[in-house]
Amino acid sequence: MNFKLLLFIFILFTTINSTAQTQKSNYKTQQQEKKAKREELNGSVLNQLNFKDINDKEHSLESLRGKVVVLDFWFIQCKPCVKQFPSMNTLKKKYKGKPVEFFAVTWNSEYDVKQFLKTIDLQLTPVVDNNLIDKFNIPHYPYHVIIDQNGKVEFVSSVLSFSITNKLERKINRLLKN
């Protein structure tokens, strides 16, 4: 009886361990594929970009042509995302009157975003769009993408950075000088 129980436990443990290893391997492969897609995007020219902000204004690659576009990916429950809003608001103010558009892209519901915006100052144009999040294979939040005046992806943040606004500002300045 003890031998059968031990054998059963051994087989059960081996099966569970094997399943966990397979899941871990699949997750790693998926993350590597997403990273490769993000790296492909950096420096690529977009052939399509369409989204609507929470005020129902349509934006497209064509309507944004000639402007530097900053996409700030965030969500309500992300404390680092919300914590960077004041510095992103300041960055947006620096470029007032210049051909630079700032969008805050989230997966939260439009209703939740509108309620949340009653409690916090966000001057970037809010966008609720899972397709944009999927398009850029967002791995973590906050995450930032800059698109140049001709639709070329010029900057994709690859690590969490406390000085992200400085990096964004340097890149925007370089693009505006060209």
Task: Please state the pTM of the whole predicted model.
Answer: 0.79
Pairing assessment for the beta strands 50-52 and 58-60 based on DSSP bridges: antiparallel
Domain spans of the chain?
1-41, 45-177
Q: Tell me the HSE value of 111 on the side-chain side, using a 13 A CA sphere.
A: 0
Q: Tell me the pLDDT of the chain (178 aa) as tens digits.
A: 577 777 777 776 777 766 666 666 677 777 677 667 667 777 788 889 999 999 999 999 999 999 999 999 999 999 999 999 999 999 999 999 999 999 999 999 999 999 999 999 999 999 999 999 988 888 889 999 999 999 999 877 756 666 788 899 999 999 999 7
* Nearest-angstrom CA–CA distance, 171 and 54: 27
Q: Are strands 50-52 and 100-106 parallel, antiparallel or unpaired?
A: unpaired
CATH number given to 45-177: 3.40.30.10
Which DSSP category does 49 fall into? -
Q: Where are the alpha helices (DSSP H) in the chain?
A: 2-41, 61-64, 79-83, 85-94, 110-117, 130-135, 164-177
